Amino acid sequence: MSARENILARIRANSAKRGATTQAEMDQARSHIATRTRGPAPSIARQAPLVRFEQESERLKSTIDVIASIEEVPLATARYLRDNGLPTSVVGWPALAQLDWSAAGIAFANRLANREDAVGVTDCFCAIGETGTLLLLSSPLTPKLHALLPETHICVVSQSRIVATMEDAFDRLRTERGVLPRSTFFVSGPSRTADIEQTIVIGAHGPYRVHVIIAP
Amino acid sequence: MQVKSMHFKATSSAKLNDAVLQTALKKAKAKFVDGRAAAVAEIDIWQDIRTHAAALRDGVIANLDAYLLEFEANATARGAVVHWAETAEEANAIIVDLAKKNAVKIVTKSKSMVSEEISLNDALEAVGVEVVETDLGEYILQLAKEPPSHIVAPAVHKSKEQVADLFEAAHHRPRTVDIPSMTREAREVLRSKFLNADMGISGANFVIAETGTTLTVTNEGNADLVTTVPRIHCVVTGIEKVIPTLEDFATLIRLLPRSATGQSAANYLTLTTGTKQPGDLDGPEQMHIVLIDAGRTKLVGSDMKEMLRCIRCGACMNHCPVYQNVGGHAYGWVYPGPMGAVLTPTYVGIEQAGDLPNAATFCGECQVVCPVKIPLPDLMRKWRERQFDRALRPFSERISIAVWSAFATRPALYAFSTRIVARVAAWMGGKNKRITSLPGLDGWTDGRDMPAPAGKTFRERYRARQVGQVGQVGRVGDMGAADEAGQRSKPTP
């Protein structure tokens, strides 16, 4: 018998079940999965998603800028980079390449991020109010490394795509995409660690700064 | 990991006299206990979420085979290869074989307690693979050649000066004790490892049956680099980590970071489903998931099955007065504190870990703070009962318990003898009402005096009070460790 069979057999023997897992038992597990029962949600999850998202983002040490149109993203990016004394060369996702970056004085590279890149610009699938979280989905046009390797991650969020809870985000994901991508990536603020003397340091292996630009 | 739990008493004594450790433990206690309390207070229905989470974990464990098979089918459909290992040796053999077949030279790892259980690093290094721990705490301990002392904050026992010494020796850079500078130094040193690794190894906080997904909960971003950059991603995890749906994950993640570190959200939640897809610019070409038993099936269907609910937050140890004083290394294996007092005897044998279930004051705080309501004191008590039944405790302890039991099960005899003991002990206490020496129990009185009882037994005083206050009998004695936030029952004054 293989390890797989032995483990499954031990589970069943100790659960006082006979023989191999039956079709009826598999169907029962699948029908339980299909109910997708939500757990109880706290009051904080019922606050207005946009207000909550802004408040929680600040708590996570992300910064926020609200703009009037998507066309303003390059200027808002330039403003943030200038105010923080950061380089004006960025690497970004293809969907954002069509914006007029050069008019804002920014060199926008449309390619995969590497270790030399200081600033990565992405958008996101949606954002979650309850915890101030960004949800990024991997795909050929939305590689994950842009949000990981550079020291600064700038993320464009569409206001209409800020949902209340993670459950709402999963509903949207199932409706719009059907299946999970290879990487379903929830980002809540810049990377951090407290591994030396429990002292919180912002900036561990991921970005030091997460700047969120909220567009309509 | 080599088991050293049999040395618990000796190690604990040494740890109590370790000044650096004691400072670190005091600091950690304040952060973890206060941080969790504040984070939990923000959730108005914390108890409802705990109840839901405990039930959902129980539901999976009761049908563990079906959920594992569903997970396996869905993960396989997305291009992952699912391996099963009954023991640590089998798991290591699978991963070493993968490394050899794929000519792996460098492995980057994100934190995995299961990999500590099986001593995976040793197995890979034995065949010439360079293994690099990338979680900052684990990296520090890899340099120090020490095991973790906490499941969430592995290097909690180290001072910044000790870390600075390790970094100076390993990195050959000017020594600094500035914590942000040290963190940046580790980032810079590890960056090239991340980018040049052939295989990334991660644990899994959960695996999701519905989607065949494995997932990590981290703050540093290292797990994301480990699971994205190398051409092979290997997950090592226990068979009990399966949960049915994405919604179940949403529930559990409301509990996990708040319980673990007092954070409202962990920085990175990474759900990984299968391999690199056509056209993807990043992601691994191969994904392997090693599901490990190594003792877990012993808990299935047993009278300790609640332990399988555990989501590895570490709140039980953070709130344990024993852990707070001796630290994690004293426990002598991967899992310290109350969870370790239940898991270590199960996984490595009670003969090797007999002191752990006895290293508890039974204050009940671990059960109160457990996000999935594991009755840890009850489970430790069950290990004590088994030790007694199997004559695994010292003769003097067993005979004392047998004598106690003989009295405690005979109410009249108990009442009579306690009346005598209470009076003799009150007399022994003298004018200061302190007993300075107890024959046969000098281990207790050498270090402290015992307060003398008042001279009458509890039952005598209770009866006297009842006579005086007919109709006002309060609930007496029930300090049940049920819930916090006003739900902990208190005796009526």
CA–CA distance, B2 with B329 (Å, rounded to integer): 12
Half-sphere exposure of A169 (CA within 13 A, CB side): 28
Chain A residues with CB-CB distance to B191 below 8 A: 115
CB contact under 8 A, A8 and B154: no
Averaged pLDDT, groups of 10, chain B, 493 residues long: 94 96 94 97 98 98 98 98 98 98 98 97 98 97 96 96 97 97 97 97 98 98 96 98 98 98 97 95 96 98 98 98 97 97 96 95 97 98 94 89 92 92 90 85 82 87 82 47 48 40
Chain B residues with CB-CB distance to A191 below 8 A: 219-221, 267-268
Transcribe B99-115 into DSSP letters: HHHTT--EEEE---HHH
CB contact under 8 A, A14 and B261: no
> Residue type for A73, please?
V
Q: Tokens 């900036």 belong to which residue?
A: A203
Chain A residues with CB-CB distance to B180 below 8 A: 201, 203
Number of compact structural domains in chain A: 1
The answer, as to whether pTM is greater than 0.90, is yes
Q: List the alpha helices (DSSP H) in B430-479.
A: 442-445, 458-468
Q: What is the pLDDT of residue A126?
A: 98
Hey, what are B133's tokens?
Answer: 């721990």
Could you say which DSSP state residue B244 is in?
A: S
Hey, what are A117's tokens?
Answer: 């890149």
The helix/strand/coil state of B133 is strand
Phi-psi region of A35 (alpha: psi -120 to 50; beta: other; left: phi over 0): alpha
CB contact under 8 A, A26 and B265: no
Could you say which DSSP state residue A196 is in?
A: T
Is A31 contained in some domain? no
Q: Which of B90, B245, B302 sits opposite A14 (nearest CB)?
A: B302
List, as ranges, residues 222-251 from B with C-beta within 8 Å of A: 222, 224-225, 227-229, 239, 244-251
Is A6 contained in some domain? no
CB contact under 8 A, B182 and A196: yes
Structural domain including A122 reads 46-215
Q: Which of A25, A165, A192 sits opposite B250 (nearest CB)?
A: A165
CA distances from A147 to A93, A187, A205, B200 (A): 10, 9, 11, 19
Angle (CA) B323-B326-B330 rounded to 5° is: 95
Give residue-wise pLDDT tens across range A109-144: 999 999 999 999 999 999 999 999 999 999 999 999
Q: What is the pLDDT of residue B455?
A: 85
CA–CA distance, B84 with A41 (Å, rounded to integer): 36
CA–CA distance, A185 with A136 (Å, rounded to integer): 5
Across B211-242, b (16+ Cβ under 10 Å) vs e yields bbbbbbbbbbbbbbbbbbbbbbbbbbbbbbbb
Phi-psi region of B449 (alpha: psi -120 to 50; beta: other; left: phi over 0): beta
Please give the residue of chain B at the shortest CA–CA distance from A201: B180
Is A10 contained in some domain? no
Give residue-wise pLDDT tens across range B63-103: 999 999 999 999 999 999 999 999 999 999 999 999 999 99
Distance in Å, alpha carbon of A23 to nearest chain B alpha carbon: 9
Give residue-wise pLDDT tens across range B99-158: 999 999 999 999 999 999 999 999 999 999 999 999 999 999 999 999 999 999 999 999
Hey, what are A44's tokens?
Answer: 């904080």
ipTM of the complex in this document: 0.97
Nearest to B74 by CA among B248, B210, B244, B240: B210
Domain at A199, CATH number: 3.40.50.10420
Is A8 contained in some domain? no
Q: What is the pLDDT of residue B448?
A: 85
Chain B residues with CB-CB distance to A175 below 8 A: none
Picking from B63, B184, B248 by the largest number of A CB atoms within 10 A of its own CB, the best residue to mutate is: B63
Q: Tokens 């594992």 belong to which residue?
A: B68
Q: Which of A167, A179, A192 sits opposite B267 (nearest CB)?
A: A192
Q: Which of A40, A139, A196 sits opposite B45 (nearest CB)?
A: A40
Chain B residues with CB-CB distance to A12 below 8 A: 65
* Residue A201 CB partners (closer than 8 Å, separation 6+): A192, A193, A194, B179, B180, B183
Could you say which DSSP state residue B199 is in?
A: E
Distance in Å, alpha carbon of B341 to nearest chain A alpha carbon: 22
Distance in Å, alpha carbon of B457 to nearest chain A alpha carbon: 46
Q: Tokens 């009998």 belong to which residue?
A: B473
How far from the centroid of its chain's Cα atoms is residue A131's Cα? 11
Chain B residues with CB-CB distance to A3 below 8 A: 84-86, 90, 293
Q: What is the pLDDT of residue B477?
A: 45
Averaged pLDDT, groups of 10, chain A, 216 residues long: 96 96 98 97 96 97 98 98 98 97 98 96 98 97 96 98 98 97 98 95 97 98
Q: Are B235 and B203 in contact (CB under 8 A)?
A: yes
- In CATH, the architecture of B80-298 is 3-Layer(aba) Sandwich (3.40)
Q: Are B445 and B452 in contact (CB under 8 A)?
A: no
Q: In what order do the strands lie in the sheet with A183-187?
A: A162-163, A126-128, A133-137, A183-187, B268-272, B213-218, B206-208, B242-243
Chain B residues with CB-CB distance to A43 below 8 A: 44-45
Q: Where are the domains of chain B?
A: 80-298, 395-456
Q: Tokens 């991967």 belong to which residue?
A: B334
Please give the residue of chain B at the shortest CA–CA distance from A15: B301
Q: Which of A12, A144, A182 sits opposite B274 (nearest CB)?
A: A182
Q: Are B11 and B332 in contact (CB under 8 A)?
A: yes
Percentage of residues of chain B with pLDDT beyond 70: 95
Hey, what are B405's tokens?
Answer: 């039991």
How many other β-carbons are positioned within 10 Å of the β-carbon of residue B33? 17
Q: Are A194 and B153 in contact (CB under 8 A)?
A: yes
CB-defined contacts A:B, below 8 A: 272
Q: Are B23 and B159 in contact (CB under 8 A)?
A: yes
Transcribe B254-322 into DSSP letters: HHHHHHHTS-SS-SEEEEE-SSPPTT-SSS-SEEEEEEE-TTGGGTTTSTTGGGGG-----HHHHT-TT
Is A134 contained in some domain? yes
Q: Are B196 and B204 in contact (CB under 8 A)?
A: no
Q: Which of B56, B221, B273 sits opposite A180 (nearest CB)?
A: B273
Hey, what are B135's tokens?
Answer: 């979680």
B59 touches chain A (CB under 8 A): yes
Distance in Å, alpha carbon of A74 to nearest chain B alpha carbon: 25
Q: What is the pLDDT of residue B439?
A: 78
Could you say which DSSP state residue B169 is in?
A: H
Q: Which of A40, A180, A185 sits opposite B48 (nearest CB)?
A: A40
Cβ-count burial of B268 within 10 angstroms (0-12 exposed, 13-18 middle, 19+ buried)?
buried
The helix/strand/coil state of B447 is coil
